[in-house]
Structure formats: structure tokens, C-alpha cells
Amino acid sequence: MYSPKYIITNKILQNIGAIEACREVVNNAPLIPSYEKQFQEEAALSSVHHGTHIEGNELSFTQAEGVLGGKEIVAGERDIQEVINYRNVLKYLDQTLSEDQKKDDKHFSYSEKQLLKIHSFAVEKLVPEEQRGKYRKVQVILRNAQTGEVVFRPPPAPEVPYLMEDFFKWLNSSEGREVHPVLRSAIAHYVISSVHPFTDGDGRTARGFATLILFAEGYDIKKLFSLEEYFDKNAFEYYDSLRKTDLTNESSFEDRDLTGWVEFFTKALAIELTRVKDKIRRVSLDGKIKEKLGGKQLSLNERQMAIMEYIESRGEAAMRELKPLLPNISEDTILREIYSLMKQKLIKKKGSRKAAKYAIR
């Protein structure tokens, strides 16, 4: 049975701590249903666009949105098909998880069938039919596009079924289930990417299966985030982290040290969830302010919103806390913004002079 090797570093602990804190905020945020649905659709679109763009898809975000909306887009057929396919991957994940919820099993059970299904959807109409949802029968190598140098040589094709079987044994084992879900997702992504079990579509399949684990094990976070977006915007670090992990032991797949990759993966999720948390807090604050203003449209500037968000998140704040928040703004200007907020009856002053603190009314 496969047994992943990695060390729980301080970076990983910090990232997991941030993930848990954001998860708590997002899952308990009283989002209006229409907002939640809108944010979920935006996250899904982001996953589809960035999940294909990272591999060279040339559609813009707007074009990808048009394709998913059924519009006629002037673009390469393969690019269009890749976007449609990745949307179908996400639909398959939803369907699989929905079906599992009807069962009484204690744990979600993972299988090679699910992996092959994800691959089949990801490469529909892009590879020969006999290669869809089937492990590769040939050796594949990845070369540097500029130099032609071999940068990655996955395990020989005959080893693929056995490596994947060993991985799934670990994933479903009691030992494997003791590992934190985010780490399990990171490990699954690396294993699929590095074994490279298919002739094409391995990256999309790895990211899709990693998402399945997060969603199945309580880390769907209302489906408001897109790991693919972070990976795409940090593509060099993403691929570099995978390759550096390969190099920790080129001759033995089972003995590679996954620590660096797990650090990157957990950092990616922590940053993405922090972005989502901040977005939800802002929407929640906007709603509270509009309620105080009797439903009127907000007319606060960026400095005033920053002050409101800071006070809202901490309950109250003194001037010495607000000054670092707006480092390039004079104290007199900050005071003017505070007085404006007080005049609109959005915040109140507690205490006087230097000891004064400001709180939401």
C-alpha cells in the first residue's frame, strides 16, 4: 500500500490554521441565497476558465463565460471543447457527491472508476475514444518547449495500474483517513499528476479529483472558491513545486518527499479562502450599512470602507490601530473620514482624546 512521505512543517500548520479559520467564517456567514448562488456560479466559472487556461487554453474569461452561456464564440474548437469538458467534470463531481449523500456509508468511498470518469469527461472529443477513461499503454515524457530537454519522465506504463491501485488502497484505508482532508487532497493531486496515468488531460484530472476529496470531506466551503484560479495565476510556482517534488527521488515514486508540494497546496487554499472570506465579510458589512441607511445606496469611499471593515471585524478600534491600516494617509484625513462615518451614524465614539475608540453603532 502506498504511504505518502512528508513532514508537517510550521508553514503547513499555519496554512491549515488559516484554512480552518476561513472555513468557519464562510460556512457560518448569513449570505442571502441569491448572493450565494451568484458567488457559486462565479467560482465555478473561474475554475473552468483557469483550470483550462493553465494548460494553454487561449479563451479569455469573457469568452469562456460565453461558451458556458451557450453563445457562439469565434475561437479554436479545441479551446471551446476544453471549457465545455471541464464544466462537465464539475457537474460530475456534484452528481457523484449528491448520490453519495443518499447512502448510509460512514465514509465517502473513492474508486478508480471515479478517476477514469473524471478523465473521460475532461478529454471528451479531444483524444481517440479508446484513450478516454483508460490508463495509458505507452511511455510519455515531458520536454522543455524551448530546449527540448526532458524535464519529466513518468513511471513506465505497465506500472501505472499498480501504482494507482496502491494509492486508492491508502486513500480508503483507516490510516489514510486519519490524514487531514486538505492534505489528502494535496497528496491525491500530486500522485495523479506524477504517475501521469493518461496520455492527455492528467492535470485537469488531478485538479478535478483533488476537488472531489475536498468537497466530499467537508471542505467544499459552500463551493465559493477556485483553487484553479490561484494555480493559474501562479503557474510557474505550481509546476515548479510539482517538478521539485519529483526530483526528491527520481528513481522511486513511493519514496518522494511531498513536503514542498503540500506547503504550496495548503498555501494556495489558504490564500484563496482568505479572499473569499474577505469578500463575504464585505458583502455582509455592505448589507448592515444599507440597513442602517434605510436601504439607501452606499456612498462610502475606499478609505471609509477600509475603516468600517476593520472596526466590524474587531468590534472596535483606536486611532493607533487605524493609522497602519491607511499608511499613506495623514491622521487628520483619517479623522475626517471617521467624523463622516459618525455623522452618517454608522460608527460611534467611545471615550475621549487619545484613549478614544470607535465601534459600529
Question: Which CATH number describes the domain made up of 299-360?
Answer: 1.10.10.10
Q: What pLDDT score was predicted for residue 83?
A: 97
5-39 per-position pLDDT tens digit: 999 999 999 999 999 999 998 888 776 677 788 88
175-211 per-position pLDDT tens digit: 999 999 999 999 999 999 999 999 999 999 999 999 9
Tell me the CA distances in angstroms from 282 to 41, 276, 288, 325, one per residue in order.
19, 10, 10, 16
CB-based contacts of 341, cutoff 8 Å, min separation 6: 300, 304, 307, 308, 347, 358
In this predicted structure, the answer to whether residue 298 has a pLDDT above a threshold of 60 is: no
Distance CA 361, CA 212 (A): 43
What average pLDDT score do residues 223-243 get?
95
More confident residue, 33 or 115: 115
Domain with CATH 1.10.3290.10 in the chain: 10-280
252-273 per-position pLDDT tens digit: 899 999 999 999 999 999 999 9
Domain with CATH 1.10.10.10 in the chain: 299-360
188 pairs with which residues across the strands?
A: none
162-178 per-position pLDDT tens digit: 999 999 999 999 999 99
Strands 150-152 and 142-143: antiparallel
In this predicted structure, the answer to whether residue 355 has a pLDDT above a threshold of 80 is: no
Question: Which CATH number describes the domain made up of 10-280?
Answer: 1.10.3290.10
**Angle at the Cα of 233 (from 201 to 145), degrees rounded to 5?**
55
38-65 per-position pLDDT tens digit: 889 999 999 999 999 999 999 999 999 9
Q: What pLDDT score was predicted for residue 327?
A: 83
Q: What pLDDT score was predicted for residue 180?
A: 97
